[in-house]
Chains A and B, each alone.
Chain A
Amino acid sequence: METKFEIEKLNLYYGTFQALKEIDMSIYGNKITALIGPSGCGKSTFLRTLNRMNDLIQGVKIEGMIKFDREDIYGKDYDIIELRKKVGMVFQKPNPFPKTIYENIVYGPKIHGEKDKSTLDHIVEQTLKEVALWEEVKDRLHKPALGLSGGQQQRLCIARCLAVEPEVILMDEPTSALDPVATSKIEGLLEELAEKYTIVIVTHNMQQAGRVSDYTSFFLNGKVIETDKTEVIFSNPANKKTEDYITGRFG
Protein backbone atom coordinates (compact mmCIF):
# COMPACT_ATOMS: atom_id res chain seq x y z
CA MET A 1 0.00 0.00 0.00
CA GLU A 2 1.40 3.36 -1.06
CA THR A 3 1.83 5.96 1.67
CA LYS A 4 0.68 9.34 0.38
CA PHE A 5 1.33 11.40 3.48
CA GLU A 6 3.74 10.59 6.25
CA ILE A 7 3.25 12.80 9.28
CA GLU A 8 5.85 12.82 12.03
CA LYS A 9 5.77 14.60 15.37
CA LEU A 10 3.53 17.35 14.06
CA ASN A 11 2.87 20.23 16.47
CA LEU A 12 0.81 23.27 15.58
CA TYR A 13 0.30 26.41 17.63
CA TYR A 14 -2.18 29.25 17.19
CA GLY A 15 -0.13 31.84 19.11
CA THR A 16 0.37 30.23 22.49
CA PHE A 17 -2.44 27.70 22.07
CA GLN A 18 -1.24 24.30 20.94
CA ALA A 19 -3.87 22.88 18.60
CA LEU A 20 -2.01 19.76 17.44
CA LYS A 21 0.26 17.68 19.63
CA GLU A 22 2.86 15.21 18.43
CA ILE A 23 0.79 13.80 15.59
CA ASP A 24 2.22 10.71 13.90
CA MET A 25 0.15 9.31 11.07
CA SER A 26 0.29 7.68 7.68
CA ILE A 27 -2.31 8.41 5.03
CA TYR A 28 -2.53 5.79 2.34
CA GLY A 29 -2.99 6.37 -1.37
CA ASN A 30 -6.37 5.60 -3.00
CA LYS A 31 -7.88 5.08 0.42
CA ILE A 32 -10.46 7.13 2.26
CA THR A 33 -9.32 8.27 5.67
CA ALA A 34 -11.90 9.74 8.03
CA LEU A 35 -10.96 12.11 10.82
CA ILE A 36 -13.39 12.11 13.71
CA GLY A 37 -13.46 13.80 17.10
CA PRO A 38 -15.35 16.44 19.07
CA SER A 39 -15.41 20.09 17.99
CA GLY A 40 -12.12 21.80 18.67
CA CYS A 41 -10.10 18.57 18.77
CA GLY A 42 -7.85 19.68 15.91
CA LYS A 43 -9.10 17.54 13.05
CA SER A 44 -9.88 20.45 10.69
CA THR A 45 -6.62 22.12 11.65
CA PHE A 46 -4.82 18.89 10.87
CA LEU A 47 -6.62 18.59 7.53
CA ARG A 48 -5.47 22.08 6.60
CA THR A 49 -1.85 21.28 7.38
CA LEU A 50 -1.92 18.77 4.53
CA ASN A 51 -2.10 21.46 1.85
CA ARG A 52 -0.66 24.26 3.99
CA MET A 53 -3.92 26.18 4.23
CA ASN A 54 -2.90 27.15 7.76
CA ASP A 55 -0.11 29.27 6.31
CA LEU A 56 -2.79 31.86 5.61
CA ILE A 57 -3.66 32.23 9.28
CA GLN A 58 -1.63 34.72 11.29
CA GLY A 59 0.31 33.50 14.30
CA VAL A 60 0.40 29.85 13.27
CA LYS A 61 3.58 27.98 14.10
CA ILE A 62 4.17 24.46 12.84
CA GLU A 63 6.81 21.96 13.97
CA GLY A 64 7.50 18.43 12.82
CA MET A 65 7.32 16.98 9.38
CA ILE A 66 4.71 16.22 6.75
CA LYS A 67 5.95 14.31 3.75
CA PHE A 68 3.77 14.18 0.66
CA ASP A 69 5.04 11.57 -1.79
CA ARG A 70 8.19 11.44 0.35
CA GLU A 71 8.87 15.17 0.09
CA ASP A 72 8.71 17.51 3.06
CA ILE A 73 5.94 19.99 2.20
CA TYR A 74 7.16 22.42 4.86
CA GLY A 75 10.69 22.28 3.38
CA LYS A 76 12.20 25.57 2.22
CA ASP A 77 11.98 25.09 -1.53
CA TYR A 78 8.67 23.29 -1.66
CA ASP A 79 6.29 24.75 -4.25
CA ILE A 80 3.07 25.58 -2.40
CA ILE A 81 1.13 26.37 -5.55
CA GLU A 82 1.95 22.93 -6.91
CA LEU A 83 1.02 21.39 -3.53
CA ARG A 84 -2.42 23.04 -3.53
CA LYS A 85 -2.97 21.89 -7.09
CA LYS A 86 -2.20 18.31 -6.12
CA VAL A 87 -4.04 18.50 -2.82
CA GLY A 88 -7.48 20.00 -3.39
CA MET A 89 -10.07 20.88 -0.84
CA VAL A 90 -13.85 20.79 -0.46
CA PHE A 91 -15.51 22.66 2.38
CA GLN A 92 -18.51 22.24 4.63
CA LYS A 93 -20.76 24.68 2.83
CA PRO A 94 -20.88 24.48 -0.93
CA ASN A 95 -19.00 27.57 -2.11
CA PRO A 96 -19.31 27.88 -5.87
CA PHE A 97 -18.04 31.14 -7.34
CA PRO A 98 -20.84 33.54 -8.36
CA LYS A 99 -20.23 32.59 -11.96
CA THR A 100 -21.64 30.06 -14.39
CA ILE A 101 -21.32 26.33 -13.87
CA TYR A 102 -18.85 26.19 -16.76
CA GLU A 103 -16.71 29.02 -15.42
CA ASN A 104 -16.55 27.43 -11.99
CA ILE A 105 -14.95 24.33 -13.45
CA VAL A 106 -12.52 26.02 -15.83
CA TYR A 107 -11.40 28.57 -13.26
CA GLY A 108 -8.58 26.38 -11.91
CA PRO A 109 -7.30 25.04 -15.22
CA LYS A 110 -7.27 28.62 -16.64
CA ILE A 111 -5.22 29.89 -13.71
CA HIS A 112 -2.79 27.07 -14.31
CA GLY A 113 -2.46 28.26 -17.93
CA GLU A 114 -4.93 26.18 -19.90
CA LYS A 115 -6.40 28.27 -22.73
CA ASP A 116 -7.55 25.78 -25.34
CA LYS A 117 -11.35 25.91 -25.61
CA SER A 118 -11.85 22.29 -26.59
CA THR A 119 -9.55 21.11 -23.77
CA LEU A 120 -11.54 23.23 -21.32
CA ASP A 121 -14.82 21.87 -22.70
CA HIS A 122 -13.46 18.38 -22.27
CA ILE A 123 -12.43 19.09 -18.66
CA VAL A 124 -15.92 20.43 -17.88
CA GLU A 125 -17.66 17.38 -19.30
CA GLN A 126 -15.16 14.95 -17.80
CA THR A 127 -15.24 16.33 -14.26
CA LEU A 128 -19.01 16.82 -14.21
CA LYS A 129 -19.36 13.20 -15.27
CA GLU A 130 -16.98 12.14 -12.53
CA VAL A 131 -19.22 13.73 -9.91
CA ALA A 132 -22.39 12.42 -11.60
CA LEU A 133 -23.65 15.92 -12.29
CA TRP A 134 -23.30 16.02 -16.07
CA GLU A 135 -26.73 14.68 -16.92
CA GLU A 136 -28.36 17.15 -14.54
CA VAL A 137 -26.59 20.28 -15.80
CA LYS A 138 -25.38 19.67 -19.36
CA ASP A 139 -28.13 21.89 -20.78
CA ARG A 140 -27.41 24.80 -18.49
CA LEU A 141 -23.64 24.96 -18.27
CA HIS A 142 -23.73 28.71 -18.82
CA LYS A 143 -26.30 29.39 -16.14
CA PRO A 144 -25.29 30.66 -12.68
CA ALA A 145 -23.89 27.95 -10.40
CA LEU A 146 -25.74 29.48 -7.49
CA GLY A 147 -29.00 28.40 -9.14
CA LEU A 148 -28.18 24.75 -8.37
CA SER A 149 -29.47 22.93 -5.30
CA GLY A 150 -27.16 22.57 -2.29
CA GLY A 151 -26.27 18.99 -3.16
CA GLN A 152 -25.59 19.89 -6.79
CA GLN A 153 -23.47 22.87 -5.70
CA GLN A 154 -21.37 20.60 -3.51
CA ARG A 155 -20.83 18.15 -6.35
CA LEU A 156 -19.90 21.10 -8.54
CA CYS A 157 -17.32 22.13 -5.94
CA ILE A 158 -15.89 18.61 -6.02
CA ALA A 159 -15.81 18.78 -9.83
CA ARG A 160 -14.06 22.17 -9.62
CA CYS A 161 -11.53 20.54 -7.34
CA LEU A 162 -11.01 17.65 -9.78
CA ALA A 163 -10.56 20.01 -12.73
CA VAL A 164 -6.94 20.73 -11.81
CA GLU A 165 -6.17 17.01 -11.63
CA PRO A 166 -5.35 16.68 -7.95
CA GLU A 167 -4.01 13.52 -6.33
CA VAL A 168 -5.60 14.12 -2.96
CA ILE A 169 -8.96 15.62 -2.00
CA LEU A 170 -9.38 17.03 1.48
CA MET A 171 -12.99 17.30 2.59
CA ASP A 172 -14.07 19.21 5.64
CA GLU A 173 -17.54 17.96 6.59
CA PRO A 174 -18.63 17.97 2.94
CA THR A 175 -22.18 16.80 3.58
CA SER A 176 -23.10 18.46 6.86
CA ALA A 177 -25.14 21.11 5.05
CA LEU A 178 -26.87 18.63 2.76
CA ASP A 179 -30.06 16.57 2.98
CA PRO A 180 -29.89 12.74 3.15
CA VAL A 181 -30.42 12.26 -0.59
CA ALA A 182 -27.64 14.67 -1.54
CA THR A 183 -25.48 13.19 1.21
CA SER A 184 -25.93 9.71 -0.12
CA LYS A 185 -25.01 10.89 -3.64
CA ILE A 186 -21.76 12.40 -2.36
CA GLU A 187 -21.01 9.30 -0.29
CA GLY A 188 -21.55 7.08 -3.32
CA LEU A 189 -19.25 9.35 -5.26
CA LEU A 190 -16.48 9.07 -2.68
CA GLU A 191 -16.09 5.37 -3.25
CA GLU A 192 -15.67 5.90 -6.98
CA LEU A 193 -13.30 8.82 -6.51
CA ALA A 194 -11.09 6.73 -4.23
CA GLU A 195 -10.16 4.61 -7.24
CA LYS A 196 -8.31 7.61 -8.65
CA TYR A 197 -7.72 9.89 -5.69
CA THR A 198 -6.69 9.79 -2.07
CA ILE A 199 -9.40 11.21 0.16
CA VAL A 200 -9.20 12.60 3.67
CA ILE A 201 -12.55 13.54 5.14
CA VAL A 202 -13.48 15.28 8.38
CA THR A 203 -16.92 14.27 9.57
CA HIS A 204 -19.06 14.59 12.66
CA ASN A 205 -21.33 11.85 11.42
CA MET A 206 -20.13 8.54 12.87
CA GLN A 207 -22.29 6.50 10.54
CA GLN A 208 -20.87 8.37 7.59
CA ALA A 209 -17.31 7.69 8.69
CA GLY A 210 -18.30 4.05 9.11
CA ARG A 211 -19.95 3.89 5.71
CA VAL A 212 -17.41 5.62 3.53
CA SER A 213 -13.93 5.32 4.95
CA ASP A 214 -11.21 2.67 4.92
CA TYR A 215 -9.31 4.13 7.85
CA THR A 216 -10.46 6.27 10.75
CA SER A 217 -8.45 8.46 13.09
CA PHE A 218 -9.90 9.66 16.35
CA PHE A 219 -8.68 13.07 17.48
CA LEU A 220 -9.05 14.44 21.00
CA ASN A 221 -7.57 17.62 22.44
CA GLY A 222 -5.11 17.96 19.58
CA LYS A 223 -3.86 14.39 19.77
CA VAL A 224 -4.51 11.32 17.69
CA ILE A 225 -5.89 8.82 20.16
CA GLU A 226 -6.30 5.94 17.76
CA THR A 227 -6.03 5.17 14.06
CA ASP A 228 -7.13 1.88 12.63
CA LYS A 229 -9.17 0.27 9.93
CA THR A 230 -12.64 1.78 10.07
CA GLU A 231 -14.36 -1.53 10.72
CA VAL A 232 -12.16 -2.02 13.79
CA ILE A 233 -12.69 1.50 15.13
CA PHE A 234 -16.47 1.15 14.94
CA SER A 235 -16.82 -2.42 16.12
CA ASN A 236 -14.01 -2.84 18.61
CA PRO A 237 -11.78 0.19 19.21
CA ALA A 238 -8.68 -0.38 21.32
CA ASN A 239 -8.90 2.83 23.31
CA LYS A 240 -11.58 3.54 25.92
CA LYS A 241 -11.72 7.21 24.88
CA THR A 242 -12.47 6.23 21.29
CA GLU A 243 -15.20 3.88 22.50
CA ASP A 244 -16.73 6.60 24.68
CA TYR A 245 -16.74 9.07 21.82
CA ILE A 246 -18.20 6.87 19.11
CA THR A 247 -20.85 5.41 21.39
CA GLY A 248 -21.90 8.92 22.37
CA ARG A 249 -20.88 8.54 26.00
CA PHE A 250 -18.19 11.15 25.78
CA GLY A 251 -17.69 13.62 28.61
Chain B
Amino acid sequence: MAARPQMDHEMSIITNDLLEMTGLVEEAIRLAIKSLTEKDSELARNIINNDEEIDDLEDSIKDKCLKFLATQQPLAGDLRYMISIMQMVRDLERIGDHCEDIAKYTLRFENEEYMKQLIDIPRMAEMAAKMVKNAIDAFVNRDLRLARKVWKADEEVDELFRNIYDELMGMVDQDASRANQSVMFLFIAAHLERIADYATNICEETVFTMEGNYEME
Protein backbone atom coordinates (compact mmCIF):
# COMPACT_ATOMS: atom_id res chain seq x y z
CA MET B 1 0.00 0.00 0.00
CA ALA B 2 1.17 3.51 -0.72
CA ALA B 3 2.79 5.16 2.26
CA ARG B 4 1.20 8.52 1.46
CA PRO B 5 -2.31 7.74 0.19
CA GLN B 6 -3.56 11.34 0.42
CA MET B 7 -0.59 12.62 -1.53
CA ASP B 8 -0.93 9.91 -4.19
CA HIS B 9 -4.66 10.61 -4.43
CA GLU B 10 -4.10 14.32 -5.04
CA MET B 11 -1.36 13.59 -7.57
CA SER B 12 -3.68 11.31 -9.50
CA ILE B 13 -6.40 13.99 -9.58
CA ILE B 14 -3.92 16.50 -11.02
CA THR B 15 -2.65 13.90 -13.50
CA ASN B 16 -6.21 13.23 -14.67
CA ASP B 17 -6.79 16.95 -15.15
CA LEU B 18 -3.60 17.09 -17.20
CA LEU B 19 -4.88 14.24 -19.38
CA GLU B 20 -8.19 16.03 -19.82
CA MET B 21 -6.42 19.23 -20.84
CA THR B 22 -4.24 17.26 -23.27
CA GLY B 23 -7.37 15.74 -24.84
CA LEU B 24 -8.85 19.20 -25.39
CA VAL B 25 -5.64 20.57 -26.87
CA GLU B 26 -5.10 17.58 -29.13
CA GLU B 27 -8.65 17.94 -30.40
CA ALA B 28 -8.16 21.68 -30.89
CA ILE B 29 -5.19 21.02 -33.20
CA ARG B 30 -7.15 18.55 -35.32
CA LEU B 31 -10.28 20.71 -35.44
CA ALA B 32 -8.34 23.87 -36.25
CA ILE B 33 -6.87 22.17 -39.31
CA LYS B 34 -10.25 20.61 -40.17
CA SER B 35 -11.84 24.07 -40.06
CA LEU B 36 -9.06 25.33 -42.32
CA THR B 37 -9.13 22.53 -44.91
CA GLU B 38 -12.93 22.30 -44.99
CA LYS B 39 -13.39 26.07 -44.75
CA ASP B 40 -15.76 25.50 -41.84
CA SER B 41 -16.27 28.92 -40.25
CA GLU B 42 -18.63 27.71 -37.56
CA LEU B 43 -16.09 25.16 -36.41
CA ALA B 44 -13.42 27.87 -36.40
CA ARG B 45 -15.62 30.08 -34.21
CA ASN B 46 -16.17 27.16 -31.83
CA ILE B 47 -12.42 26.63 -31.51
CA ILE B 48 -11.92 30.31 -30.73
CA ASN B 49 -14.68 30.23 -28.11
CA ASN B 50 -13.53 26.94 -26.59
CA ASP B 51 -9.99 28.13 -25.98
CA GLU B 52 -11.29 29.63 -22.77
CA GLU B 53 -11.98 26.14 -21.50
CA ILE B 54 -8.32 25.24 -22.01
CA ASP B 55 -7.24 28.45 -20.28
CA ASP B 56 -9.52 27.75 -17.32
CA LEU B 57 -8.19 24.22 -17.02
CA GLU B 58 -4.65 25.58 -16.95
CA ASP B 59 -5.58 27.94 -14.10
CA SER B 60 -7.31 25.20 -12.17
CA ILE B 61 -4.42 22.74 -12.54
CA LYS B 62 -1.89 25.36 -11.51
CA ASP B 63 -4.02 26.19 -8.50
CA LYS B 64 -4.16 22.52 -7.51
CA CYS B 65 -0.40 22.21 -7.97
CA LEU B 66 0.16 25.24 -5.76
CA LYS B 67 -2.04 23.83 -3.01
CA PHE B 68 -0.35 20.47 -3.39
CA LEU B 69 3.09 22.04 -2.96
CA ALA B 70 1.90 24.02 0.05
CA THR B 71 0.20 21.17 1.86
CA GLN B 72 2.07 18.02 0.81
CA GLN B 73 5.54 19.53 0.47
CA PRO B 74 6.74 16.99 -2.07
CA LEU B 75 10.43 16.26 -2.51
CA ALA B 76 12.74 14.71 -5.07
CA GLY B 77 10.80 12.83 -7.80
CA ASP B 78 7.42 14.03 -6.50
CA LEU B 79 8.63 17.61 -6.47
CA ARG B 80 10.01 17.33 -10.00
CA TYR B 81 6.73 15.76 -11.16
CA MET B 82 4.73 18.74 -9.89
CA ILE B 83 7.15 21.34 -11.21
CA SER B 84 6.99 19.61 -14.60
CA ILE B 85 3.20 19.61 -14.63
CA MET B 86 3.19 23.34 -13.92
CA GLN B 87 5.48 23.86 -16.91
CA MET B 88 3.53 21.52 -19.16
CA VAL B 89 0.13 23.11 -18.57
CA ARG B 90 1.67 26.39 -19.66
CA ASP B 91 2.92 24.74 -22.84
CA LEU B 92 -0.47 23.14 -23.45
CA GLU B 93 -2.20 26.46 -22.95
CA ARG B 94 0.11 28.05 -25.52
CA ILE B 95 -0.68 25.24 -27.95
CA GLY B 96 -4.36 26.11 -27.46
CA ASP B 97 -3.56 29.72 -28.37
CA HIS B 98 -1.84 28.61 -31.58
CA CYS B 99 -4.96 26.60 -32.50
CA GLU B 100 -7.08 29.66 -31.88
CA ASP B 101 -4.82 31.66 -34.20
CA ILE B 102 -5.10 29.00 -36.91
CA ALA B 103 -8.89 29.12 -36.57
CA LYS B 104 -8.72 32.89 -37.06
CA TYR B 105 -6.99 32.33 -40.41
CA THR B 106 -9.88 30.07 -41.45
CA LEU B 107 -12.19 33.03 -40.91
CA ARG B 108 -9.92 35.34 -42.89
CA PHE B 109 -10.11 32.97 -45.86
CA GLU B 110 -13.86 32.60 -45.43
CA ASN B 111 -14.77 34.16 -48.79
CA GLU B 112 -11.73 33.11 -50.77
CA GLU B 113 -10.89 30.02 -52.78
CA TYR B 114 -7.58 28.44 -51.77
CA MET B 115 -4.89 28.67 -54.41
CA LYS B 116 -4.02 25.01 -53.85
CA GLN B 117 -5.18 21.89 -52.11
CA LEU B 118 -3.78 21.64 -48.58
CA ILE B 119 -1.75 18.47 -48.17
CA ASP B 120 1.39 19.10 -46.16
CA ILE B 121 -0.22 21.41 -43.60
CA PRO B 122 -2.79 18.78 -42.51
CA ARG B 123 0.03 16.23 -42.43
CA MET B 124 2.10 18.53 -40.26
CA ALA B 125 -0.89 19.14 -37.99
CA GLU B 126 -1.46 15.42 -37.60
CA MET B 127 2.20 14.93 -36.68
CA ALA B 128 2.10 17.78 -34.17
CA ALA B 129 -1.14 16.52 -32.58
CA LYS B 130 0.33 13.04 -32.21
CA MET B 131 3.49 14.45 -30.72
CA VAL B 132 1.51 16.32 -28.08
CA LYS B 133 -0.52 13.26 -27.16
CA ASN B 134 2.48 10.95 -27.08
CA ALA B 135 4.53 13.47 -25.13
CA ILE B 136 1.92 13.59 -22.38
CA ASP B 137 1.42 9.81 -22.49
CA ALA B 138 5.17 9.36 -22.08
CA PHE B 139 5.08 11.65 -19.05
CA VAL B 140 2.11 10.02 -17.37
CA ASN B 141 3.38 6.50 -18.05
CA ARG B 142 6.95 7.45 -17.18
CA ASP B 143 8.09 6.18 -20.55
CA LEU B 144 11.54 7.65 -21.19
CA ARG B 145 11.95 5.89 -24.54
CA LEU B 146 8.74 7.33 -25.89
CA ALA B 147 9.63 10.81 -24.59
CA ARG B 148 12.96 10.74 -26.40
CA LYS B 149 11.33 9.33 -29.55
CA VAL B 150 8.75 12.13 -29.65
CA TRP B 151 11.47 14.68 -28.98
CA LYS B 152 13.39 13.35 -31.98
CA ALA B 153 10.27 13.40 -34.18
CA ASP B 154 10.40 17.20 -34.07
CA GLU B 155 13.09 17.01 -36.76
CA GLU B 156 10.53 15.58 -39.20
CA VAL B 157 8.13 18.43 -38.44
CA ASP B 158 10.90 20.94 -38.98
CA GLU B 159 11.76 19.33 -42.29
CA LEU B 160 8.16 19.41 -43.41
CA PHE B 161 8.03 23.07 -42.41
CA ARG B 162 11.07 23.78 -44.61
CA ASN B 163 9.42 21.95 -47.52
CA ILE B 164 6.24 23.95 -47.10
CA TYR B 165 8.28 27.14 -46.99
CA ASP B 166 10.14 26.25 -50.20
CA GLU B 167 6.94 25.27 -51.97
CA LEU B 168 5.07 28.43 -50.98
CA MET B 169 7.98 30.70 -51.84
CA GLY B 170 8.28 28.95 -55.18
CA MET B 171 4.62 29.67 -55.85
CA VAL B 172 5.06 33.34 -54.98
CA ASP B 173 8.04 33.52 -57.36
CA GLN B 174 5.86 32.21 -60.17
CA ASP B 175 2.87 34.38 -59.42
CA ALA B 176 3.07 37.36 -57.07
CA SER B 177 -0.69 37.48 -56.63
CA ARG B 178 -0.34 34.34 -54.51
CA ALA B 179 1.77 36.16 -51.93
CA ASN B 180 -1.13 36.91 -49.60
CA GLN B 181 -2.31 33.31 -49.23
CA SER B 182 1.24 31.99 -49.24
CA VAL B 183 2.17 34.14 -46.27
CA MET B 184 -1.00 33.06 -44.44
CA PHE B 185 -0.28 29.39 -45.04
CA LEU B 186 3.29 29.94 -43.95
CA PHE B 187 2.09 31.50 -40.71
CA ILE B 188 -0.17 28.51 -40.13
CA ALA B 189 2.74 26.13 -40.75
CA ALA B 190 4.82 28.20 -38.34
CA HIS B 191 2.10 27.82 -35.69
CA LEU B 192 2.22 24.05 -36.19
CA GLU B 193 5.98 24.08 -35.97
CA ARG B 194 5.72 25.90 -32.63
CA ILE B 195 3.16 23.36 -31.40
CA ALA B 196 5.64 20.57 -32.13
CA ASP B 197 8.29 22.54 -30.22
CA TYR B 198 6.00 22.68 -27.20
CA ALA B 199 5.63 18.91 -27.45
CA THR B 200 9.42 18.61 -27.24
CA ASN B 201 9.36 20.82 -24.11
CA ILE B 202 6.94 18.33 -22.59
CA CYS B 203 9.32 15.48 -23.47
CA GLU B 204 12.14 17.34 -21.77
CA GLU B 205 10.00 17.65 -18.65
CA THR B 206 9.47 13.89 -18.66
CA VAL B 207 13.23 13.32 -18.69
CA PHE B 208 13.61 15.93 -15.96
CA THR B 209 10.95 14.32 -13.80
CA MET B 210 12.43 10.87 -14.16
CA GLU B 211 16.14 11.58 -14.25
CA GLY B 212 16.57 15.07 -12.82
CA ASN B 213 18.32 16.39 -15.92
CA TYR B 214 17.49 17.50 -19.44
CA GLU B 215 19.67 15.10 -21.38
CA MET B 216 17.63 14.15 -24.40
CA GLU B 217 20.15 12.13 -26.37
Residues of B within 8 A of A250 (CB): 3
| A27 contacts the other chain (CB 8 A) | no
On chain B, the number of residues with a Cβ less than 8 Å from chain A's Cβ atoms is 14
Partner of A236, one of B3, B73, B74, B76: B76
Q: Which of B40-48, B77-85, B109-117, B183-191 contacts A (4 or more CB under 8 A)?
A: B77-85
| A28 contacts the other chain (CB 8 A) | no
| B153 contacts the other chain (CB 8 A) | no
Q: Which of A55-63, A121-129, A241-249 contacts B (4 or more CB under 8 A)?
A: A241-249
**With contact pairs A235-B80, A235-B212, A236-B212 given, residues A246 and B3 touching in the complex (Cβ less than 8 Å):** no
- Nearest A-chain residue to B211, judged by Cβ: A236
- Those of B69-100 within 8 Å (CB) of chain A: 73-80
Is the CB–CB distance between B76 and A243 below 8 Å? yes
Is the CB–CB distance between A247 and B78 below 8 Å? yes
Residues of A within 8 A of B78 (CB): 247
| B2 contacts the other chain (CB 8 A) | yes
Is the CB–CB distance between A247 and B76 below 8 Å? yes
Residues of B within 8 A of A118 (CB): none
Residues of A within 8 A of B7 (CB): 248
**With contact pairs A235-B212, A236-B212 given, residues A247 and B77 touching in the complex (Cβ less than 8 Å):** yes
Is the CB–CB distance between B79 and A235 below 8 Å? yes
Is the CB–CB distance between B73 and A234 below 8 Å? no
Is the CB–CB distance between A237 and B4 below 8 Å? no
Measured CA separation A74–B77 after assembly (Å): 40
Residues of B within 8 A of A247 (CB): 4, 74-78
Is the CB–CB distance between A237 and B3 below 8 Å? no
Is the CB–CB distance between B77 and A243 below 8 Å? yes
Per DSSP, chain B at the interface is: loop
- Nearest B-chain residue to A251, judged by Cβ: B3
| A144 contacts the other chain (CB 8 A) | no
On chain A, the number of residues with a Cβ less than 8 Å from chain B's Cβ atoms is 15
Is the CB–CB distance between A206 and B75 below 8 Å? yes
Measured CA separation A209–B74 after assembly (Å): 14
**With contact pairs A235-B212, A236-B212 given, residues A249 and B75 touching in the complex (Cβ less than 8 Å):** no
| A64 contacts the other chain (CB 8 A) | no
Partner of A249, one of B4, B73, B79, B80: B4
Residues of A within 8 A of B74 (CB): 247
| A16 contacts the other chain (CB 8 A) | no
Is the CB–CB distance between A248 and B76 below 8 Å? no
Is the CB–CB distance between A234 and B76 below 8 Å? yes
- Nearest B-chain residue to A240, judged by Cβ: B77
Is the CB–CB distance between A210 and B75 below 8 Å? yes
Residues of A within 8 A of B77 (CB): 243, 247
> Distance in Å from the Cβ of B61 to the closest Cβ of chain A?
21
Counting chain A CB atoms within 10 Å of each CB, the highest count among B2, B73, B77 belongs to B77
Bitwise, A213-251 to B at CB < 8 A (1) or not (0) is 000000000000000000000111100001100111111
- Nearest B-chain residue to A232, judged by Cβ: B212
Residues of A within 8 A of B4 (CB): 247-249
Is the CB–CB distance between B73 and A207 below 8 Å? yes
Is the CB–CB distance between B2 and A236 below 8 Å? no
- Those of B1-45 within 8 Å (CB) of chain A: 2-4, 7
**With contact pairs A234-B75, A236-B76 given, residues A249 and B3 touching in the complex (Cβ less than 8 Å):** yes
> Distance in Å from the Cβ of B206 to the closest Cβ of chain A?
15
> Distance in Å from the Cβ of A235 to the closest Cβ of chain B?
6
Counting chain A CB atoms within 10 Å of each CB, the highest count among B76, B77, B212 belongs to B76
**With contact pairs A235-B80, A235-B212, A236-B212 given, residues A246 and B2 touching in the complex (Cβ less than 8 Å):** no
Residues of A within 8 A of B79 (CB): 234-235
- Nearest B-chain residue to A209, judged by Cβ: B75
Measured CA separation A247–B3 after assembly (Å): 9
Measured CA separation A248–B80 after assembly (Å): 15
Is the CB–CB distance between A248 and B3 below 8 Å? yes
Residues of B within 8 A of A246 (CB): 75-76
B interface residues (Cβ-Cβ under 8 A, vs A)? 2-4, 7, 73-80, 212-213
A interface residues (Cβ-Cβ under 8 A, vs B)? 206-207, 210, 234-237, 242-243, 246-251
